[in-house]
Amino acid sequence: MALPKFILGDNSEYPNAIYVIHTEFPRFIINLEDDNVEWFEDFDEDDENELETETANAIKLATEFYDNEISKYDEE
């Protein structure tokens, strides 16, 4: 099965939190309520430096994905 690059998620325990799950490397979940990021990958210091730009771009794309998805509901 091919997974989408981004998946929206929520959790009834944290009703104000909105999560975007990034399923490609570097895999993470971002909580858009507070921009907290939880990584599925373990990085060493060299990886962190190398992935800094890629990670910032992936987080930006996750936010844009959410905005695009929500705009579809606003149009209805």
Query: What is the residue-level pLDDT of the chain in tens, covering all 76 positions?
Result: 899 999 999 899 988 899 999 998 888 999 999 988 888 988 777 777 777 777 788 889 999 999 999 898 876 6
**Residue 1 domain-assigned?**
no
Total of domains in the chain = 1
* pLDDT of res. 75: 65
- Give me the residues paired with residue 38 across strands: 29
- Extract the tokens encoding 70: 């929500």
**Residue 59 domain-assigned?**
yes
Reported pTM: 0.80
**Residue 10 domain-assigned?**
yes
Helical H segments across the chain, by residue range: 45-75
* pLDDT of res. 76: 60
* pLDDT of res. 46: 76
The helix (H) or strand (E) run that includes residue 37 is: strand 36-39
**Residue 19 domain-assigned?**
yes
